[in-house]
Chain A
Amino acid sequence: MLLIVVYVVIGGLLACLAAHLLPVGGAPAAMGTATGIATGTVQIMLGAAMTGLFTAASVDTFTDSILLVALSGAVGATIMICVVMFMANIIYGFGAGVVPISGRVDVDPITKEPQAPYKTPQTDGHGVPIVVFVSGSLGGFIGGFGGALMYYTLLNYAHFSAGTAAIGAISIFVANAILAAYNIRGTIEGFHDPKFKRLPYALVASFAVSLLCGIVVSLTAVLGGTL
């Protein structure tokens, strides 16, 4: 029973961390006014987590190693985020004629290329430059790992059925992602963004909520007779 609580807490913390790593541009990014993926935090986190959960559920039917199931979920989510970011760049480049540029730093931390001369004035950057791509892939990997970990725990340690475990994992994941979204307050570019330093506050909140939810879930398993 302690194992369930521990894994749920770890999964929740990873979900919160992933929400901070994913580059979320929000509504302004859809107009080319901000860098990142042009949607909200909750929407893209849920999308990545669902793909990861689906892959993990398929892999879980033929292996029972927790590491492999969680890694397969992580890889599924990473594939989704990477394809999305790549195609978004293509639409920005050919459909709107803008260069992928970050608005929060003057020089790309990974490739050391200047950003400011290429940026449209009076915007906050546009597109998905290289450092943002890397940050997004990491975010997808960690988020998928956390979601698949929670699914595996609920399925094999609490012995819920597949449907119950899936919806339970989704609910706890959603709660953590939304608390992280409140912390971010709209847009974030990734680990190079100054807003990333607010991460510890959200981790504390996520820890508290995941701990309580983990206790609730293990009580459910014990009292419901499935454990």
Chain B
Amino acid sequence: MPIEVVLLFAWMLVIAFLAFIACTFEDLESDMGSQSNPNSQVQLAAQVGQVNRFFNKAISGEPLSNALYCVTAGAIAWILLQQLEPLVPGAEWKAAVLAIPIGVLGAVVMNVIFSTTAHCGRTAAMKRFEQPIYLDVLYGHLMPIGAHAFMTTFCITCIAYIQSNLGTLAGNPALNHPFALPLLGFVWGITVGSIGSSTGDVHYGTEREFQDRPFGEGKRVVYHGKITRYASCGIRTQRDIAGFCAKFGGPCTGMTFGLIILFTNWTTLVGMQLGGFLPNLPAFTAIGDMAAIWTIVLGLLIVAALAVGNVIFVKWVRKKCGPFVGV
């Protein structure tokens, strides 16, 4: 194959790898701060009298908050790239090496600011339930939250940068994605947040938050609010929780996003290759239509495989676990 096509596929694999890491850390960051759905239990805990030492990071839902960090990082990186790229013509990677980390640092500052206001605001609004603000909880969690957010946002910004320059990196600028860098950051920020919220939060909410309840049942409505506040030794905080979720929930979530990025980009690229679109890129002709048709067909094959996989898995779990036993 001509060098250009090989580079396209290589960059696509890099993007899939970065996506895997990004979503793993996104789930851990939301577990570290108890964001989104399981946070309703932390809020409820104080209201039913269970004073706790959890970090109550109530920044809307994960899609919107991750979109915030990724857009901030993307916008600052974009601004810096605009200023720095004319200074190093032909070696734009030097500008990117400086611009992307600074942008991500700005996003992490935003994260820490919003986390602090959320925790203090929510705890102050629960005055009548006698929930104090523990300063060591507040100070001790900001750095881990910031570190995990740095990894997530860094990977997403790199993905956005590679995608908006994919054609240039592979030899032909016509394949650059039409969206600009901040807008790509917005799109992937929302996606990574919604995936982390739907898959990773299940492990935190169903398993770790109620770990003193029996394993193998959904958490009943009467358990709600009575979260596990005492750890193996002492009183539990988020730092204990994130270490547990990093062993199962985090990597599963990472795999979800990595597979999604891999499948969507792979079907597009393979569709282009099978339709004969590469390497000359005759756009808007019958060859272009053929490439799109191949993309759609491959995508539908993947959907069918996943549906079959789900049917097999559900039947297997039903057979192995059997009907509900117990009280």
Closest chain-A Cβ to B160's Cβ sits at a distance in Å of 11
Is B131's CB within 8 Å of the partner chain A? no
What B residues does A54 contact at CB under 8 A?
179, 184, 187, 264
- Tell me the complex Cα distance, A27–B202, Å: 10
* Cross-interface CB contact of B248 among A31, A95, A121, A126, cutoff 8 Å: A95
Q: Does residue A47 face the partner (Cβ distance < 8 Å to B)? A: yes
Contact mask for chain A residues 41-62; partner B; CB cutoff 8 A; 1 contact, 0 none:
0111011101101110111111
Question: What interface size band does chain A fall in?
Answer: 35 or more
For residue A125, give the distance in angstroms from its CB to the closest CB of chain B: 8
CB distance from B290 to the nearest CB of A (A): 9
Interchain CB contact under 8 A, B202 and A38: yes
* A86 within 8 Å of B (CB atoms): yes
A4 contacts the other chain (Cβ, under 8 Å)?
no
**Residue from B174, B198, B307 within 8 A of A38 (CB atoms):** B198
Q: Which residues of A contact B253 (CB under 8 A)?
A: 87
Taken together as a complex, chains A and B put the C-alpha atoms of A121 and B318 apart, in Å, by 17
Within 8 A of A (CB), among B200-223: 200-207, 209-210, 215-222
Given contacts A27-B40, A72-B299, contact A80 B260 (CB under 8 A): yes
Tell whether A33 pairs with B62 under 8 Å between CB atoms, given A62-B281, A86-B306, A129-B314.
no
- Which residues between 273 and 321 of chain B lie within 8 Å of chain A, taking CB atoms? 277, 281, 283-284, 288-289, 291-293, 295-296, 299-300, 302-303, 306-307, 309-311, 313-314, 317-318, 321
Q: CA of A134 to CA of B302 in the docked complex: distance in angstroms? A: 14
- Interface SS of chain B: helix
Interface assignment of A213: CB less than 8 Å from any CB of chain B:
no
Stretch at the interface among B80-88, B107-115, B188-196: B188-196
B283 nearest in chain A by CB position: A62
Residue of B nearest to A46 (CB): B190
Rounded to whole Å, the gap between the CB of A212 and the closest CB of chain B is: 25
Indicate whether B180 reaches chain A with its CB closer than 8 angstroms. yes
B194/A43 in contact, CB under 8 A: yes
**Within 8 Å of chain A (Cβ to Cβ): is B51?**
no
Residues A30 and B289 in contact, CB atoms below 8 Å apart: no
**Shortest beta-carbon distance, A163 to chain B, in Å?**
6
Interface membership of B139, Cβ < 8 A: no
Cα distance A134–B304 in the bound complex, in angstroms: 11
- Please classify the interface of chain A as helix (H, G, I), strand (E, B), loop, or mixed, using the class held by over half of its residues: helix
B202 and A62 contact, CB distance less than 8 A:
no
Per-position 1/0 for A67-80, Cβ under 8 A of B: 01101100110111
Q: Which residues of A contact B291 (CB under 8 A)?
A: 62-63
**Bound form: Cα–Cα A91–B207 in Å:** 10
Interface assignment of B157: CB less than 8 Å from any CB of chain A: no
Least distance between A145 CB and chain B CB atoms (Å): 11
B256 x A87 contact (CB < 8 A)? yes
Cβ–Cβ < 8 Å partners of A92 in chain B: 202, 206
Q: Judging by beta carbons under 8 Å apart, are A95 and B281 in contact? A: no
A43 to B222, CA, bound (A): 27
Check if A79 sits within 8 Å of B205, measured CB to CB.
Answer: no
Q: Which residues of the partner chain B approach A58 to less than 8 Å between Cβ atoms?
A: 177, 268
Q: In the complex, what's the smallest C-beta–C-beta distance from B15 to chain A, in angstroms?
A: 12
- A80, B299: Cα distance in complex, Å: 11
B47 at the interface (CB under 8 A from A): no
Are A87's CB and B61's CB within 8 A? no
Known: A32-B218, A46-B194, A118-B322. 12 other contacts (CB 8 A): A30-B206, A32-B219, A39-B197, A48-B194, A57-B177, A79-B267, A86-B310, A89-B317, A91-B248, A91-B252, A96-B218, A123-B220
19 A–B pairs (Cβ distance < 8 Å), ordered by A = A32-B202, A43-B63, A46-B190, A54-B179, A62-B284, A63-B283, A68-B289, A69-B292, A71-B296, A82-B310, A83-B256, A84-B199, A84-B260, A88-B198, A89-B313, A91-B249, A100-B314, A123-B220, A133-B307
In order of increasing CB-CB distance, the 3 nearest A-B pairs are A47-B194, A32-B218, A75-B299
